[in-house]
Amino acid sequence: MSEPGTNPWLTAADGASDVEAPPLTGPSQPQASVNAPADGLTTKPSPPDAGLWVMGAHGGAGATSLCAFLPYSHDAGQAWPAPDERGHAKPVVVVARSSAYGLACARTVLQQWASGGAPGVELLGMVVVADAPGKLPSPLRSLVAHAGGGAPRVWRVPWVEAWRFTEAPDPETAPRRVRKVSESIRAAQESVSSLSEGEKQ
């Protein structure tokens, strides 16, 4: 149990993660051969103190709930963070439900990023949040694979029944799998930040 006032997701005193960044399973940069979708998301100004942007591919994707498990994250709603004046890349994770609608929205959003339609974004990957309890049906698993093929990485968050009865998920009582996803995202973010710092030197 964590001490009162501490963040249970920070595993070291300095906040550094001891989890290795997951390997890439998809493209890490936009590709010139990808056409922009007709219905991509807009952009909006980003606060300078947001370490990580969590963006929903559609309404009700679960971005707000995921932010509860990611220190220094910012709920971007359904909009890409606009580039800042210094040109620093904004780390982003795209969140979608595992329904056919949610995955179709995720595919459009990832196509927009891949076409270069989200300048100033460092896409870490896509988070698929279960839309119902139980095993994901085969047709939806295929849609996850299809949509996820356009993301650098894919994380899966299981159905958590308790979240239906609370306004804000409690990190203290979350399943271990949710904690592992949050740690993996943090590790990916730290890996990208380290590379960016190295390029500046």
Q: What is the pLDDT of residues 10-68, one digit of tens each?
A: 333 334 445 677 789 999 999 989 999 999 999 988 766 668 999 999 999 999 999 98
More confident site: 200 or 134? 134
Q: How far apart are CA 10 and CA 162, in angstroms?
A: 23
Q: Give buried/exposed letters for 20-34 (b at 16+ CB in 10 A, else e).
A: ebbeeebbeebeeeb
CATH architecture of the domain formed by 42-200: 3-Layer(aba) Sandwich (3.40)
Q: Using one digit for the tens of pLDDT, what is the confidence trace for 59-118?
A: 999 999 999 888 889 999 999 998 777 767 789 999 999 999 999 999 999 999 999 999
Q: Is 91 exposed, middle or buried (0-12, 13-18, 19+ CB in 10 A)?
A: buried
CB 94 within 8 A of CB 129: no
pTM equals 0.85
